[in-house]
Amino acid sequence: MKNKSLLLLLFLALVTMISLEARLMSAAEINSKENVSLAMRKSSEYFRNKLAVHGGYVYYYSLDLRERWGEGKAGPDQIWVQPPGTPTVGLAYLSAYKATGDSFYLDAATDAALALIYGQLKSGGWTNSVEFNPKSRLTAAYRNGKGRGRNNSTLDDGISQSAIRLLIHVDQAHQFQNQKIHEAAEIALNALLAAQFPVGAFPQVWTEPVNKVAPKAGNFPEYDWRTEGRIKNYWDYYTLNDGLAGYVSTVLIEAYEIYQDPRYQQAVF
């Protein structure tokens, strides 16, 4: 009888300890979530209030914030499009918004999207950076008319792809009610589709819709390819470098999921 009573007491003590430990773990988890949320908000506020230029970002910042770098040293009014620049930061804000519901993050992502829209080219895509000083030689042929120079939309290094991804996801987050973002996303996607060759491939760069040349069967050249038939403007032809086709496919799949436009699905298949 004594043994049974002792076992019962031990069992009750164990249950009590487990219950107390569970309550402590639960409190710790809640505290951890609060700490994570606070840290995330603090770092995001620093990014948005201290690092952003015209709503956009570059790769690196010196500790005193006097120097900013993308692939090269960035000017005071320059932001980077090429990852991990403005689209990357904007998508991080958007993920935080989806996780927390805090409109601060959606506002920050919207700022980044609008910064990209400023630098959207007349050809519909983007080059590696955006220059907000209209007098700078680093501007390009922006759709808003505030730049001059080249009109080279590029898919190299995920540049236009990442910009489009941010725009379409921010467009969705606004339930397609932000006209400026919705329009820019449509222009970019239409330009991307127009840059696709009939065979399904994409060039590295486009300035206008590609020529719809009929596909030809593959063959080996009759000349010595090491010394003859070299093409300088390789960027105008089918490109696989840097995972271009895969990243474009990701963009088109996400665009189809968001807009349910069959053109985006057909472009992948």
| Res 172: pLDDT | 98
Q: How far apart are CA 168 and CA 179, in angstroms?
A: 12
Q: Hey, how many other C-beta atoms are within 10 angstroms of the C-beta on 208?
A: 13
Residue 130: its H or E element: strand 129-131
- What does residue 80 show for φ and ψ, rounded to 5 degrees? -110, 140
Q: For the chain, how are helix, strand and coil distributed in percent, rounded to 5?
A: 55, 10, 40
Single out the residue of 247, 252, 251 nearest to residue 262, CA to CA: 252
Q: Is the separation of the CB atoms in 254 and 168 below 8 Å?
A: yes
Please identify which residue in the block is written with the tokens 């506020």: 45
- Residue that has been written with the tokens 């773990």 in this structure: 25
And the tokens for 262?
A: 């069959």
Distance CA 82, CA 160 (A): 8
DSSP string, 202-218: -BSEESSPPP-PPP---
Give the dihedral sign, CA 150/153/159/162: positive
Ordered mean pLDDT values, 10 residues apiece, the chain (269 residues) = 44 43 54 83 94 96 93 94 96 95 96 98 97 94 93 96 98 97 98 94 93 81 79 82 91 97 95
Domains annotated on the chain, with CATH: 35-212+233-268 (1.50.10.10)
Residue-level pLDDT at 9 = 43
What is the phi/psi pair of residue 127, to 5°?
-100, -175
